Amino acid sequence: MYQLLIVDDEKKILEGISEIFPWNNIGFEVVGKFTKAKAALAFLENHPVDVVMTDISMPDMNGLELAKALKKYPDLIIVIFSSYSDYQYMREAITLEIQDYLLKPINYDKLSSCFEKIKTLLDEKFSINRNTDGSYYGKILKKVDDYLSNHFRDGSLIEAAELVGLSPNYLSKIYKENKGVSFSESLTKIRMQQAGEMLNDPTHKSYEIAYYVGYDSPKNFTRAFKSYYKVTPRDYRNGIRKDEDETC
């Protein structure tokens, strides 16, 4: 577990971000939470950490000043999260070699991506090989499958990743490794099965079904449907089937 210190002058946000985000899932442990930058600096004197995540606008010392002060710890990784998207701040952040600049309200997939990247960096530095047991992935994948069957219509990899506290890329990778099919293939499969059922009900119009199963364009739906069932939705509705198993 890598050690993380969070600084934000708003207590609620500070607590929210440290408690709600599944830090443990991605290998981080929150070892310090401070509403004052100076207190954080004092803490760091005696308690070295791997990563500091800080807000910018704070009453006693702003986040960039803090980052400047933290330059004396060369191995320390700093992440800014702020509601400022000011160009001047961004530029200053770059000159201070800030790892990342996250905007409030926190976008979870960006947060996961950011920290996964940090973790990789740290892993490389300490030459640690990631080995996680099957049960850990099993739990995650079970959660994702549940999510898929309930949210096939508006479901997305991003949302699923957020749900399990991983970055979309990483989730996609472990999904494929463990299931043999990709996340999007699974999603399409569920959608198509749903669409097939709905097509059997003549009260549903074709474009409504497309929308219902999560396509924002009827064309895309038709294309996906055809590649899945080998027939058009219209033919399917008319009872024409091309069962791959039979033809093979």
Partner 1 sequence: MLRKYFFKRVRTYFLYMIIPTLILFIVVGYFFISIQLRRIQEGGQATLYNLSNSLEVTVYNLGYYLDVMTSNFSFSLPLRNMLATNTMQQSDVVAFHMTQNFFSSFHLAYPYIHSMYLYLDGNDRFLSSASSQIPTIEQYYDNDWLDIYQQMADDEIRFASQRQIHRYAFDQPVQVITLFQRMSHMNGVIVINIDLDKYQNLLRNAMVTEFQNLFLFSSHRDMLGSITTEQNNAAFERAFALFFDDFLATDDYATLDGNWWRIDNHLFFLNAQYSEQLNIYNVSAIPFSYLIHELRYYLLLVLAILFLDIMIVFSIAYLYTRRSFFFIQECINVFSEAEKGEEITYQVSDVKDEFGIILNNMIYLHLRNNQMKMNLMERQYQYELSEKAALQLQINPHFIFNTLQIMDFEIIKNLGKLSPLHKMTMQLSKVVKYALTDPTTKVNLREELEYLKAYLEILKVRFGDFIITYFEVDENVLDFEVFRLLLQPIVENCLEHGKRKDGGKERIIIKLKIYDREDQISFAIIDNGVGMTQQELTKLNQKIYSKGMDNIGLRNVNHRLLLHYGEESALQIHSKKNLGTAVSFRLPKTNNKNKK
Residue ranges that bind partner 1, judged by CB under 8 A: 10, 12-13, 15-17, 19-20, 57, 83-85, 103-107, 147, 150-151, 154, 159, 162-163, 207-208, 211-212, 216-219
Residue (10 or 97) nearer to partner 1, CB? 10
* Helix (DSSP H) and strand (DSSP E) numbers for the chain: 13, 5
Q: Nearest distance from residue 67's CB to partner 1, in Å?
A: 19
Measured CA to CA, the distance from residue 237 to residue 196 in angstroms comes to: 8
User: Is the Cβ–Cβ distance between 93 and 68 less than 8 Å?
Assistant: no
Measured CA to CA, the distance from residue 38 to residue 31 in angstroms comes to: 16
Q: Nearest distance from residue 121's CB to partner 1, in Å?
A: 26
Q: Which stretches of the chain are assigned E, i.e. beta strand?
A: 2-7, 28-34, 51-54, 77-82, 100-103
- Closest of 150, 143, 214, 128 to residue 174, by C-alpha: 143
Residue (5 or 56) nearer to partner 1, CB? 56
Residue (151 or 173) nearer to partner 1, CB? 151
- Closest of 183, 184, 31, 51 to residue 117, by C-alpha: 51
Q: Nearest distance from residue 83's CB to partner 1, in Å?
A: 4
Residue (87 or 126) nearer to partner 1, CB? 87
Q: Nearest distance from residue 2's CB to partner 1, in Å?
A: 23
Q: Nearest distance from residue 122's CB to partner 1, in Å?
A: 26
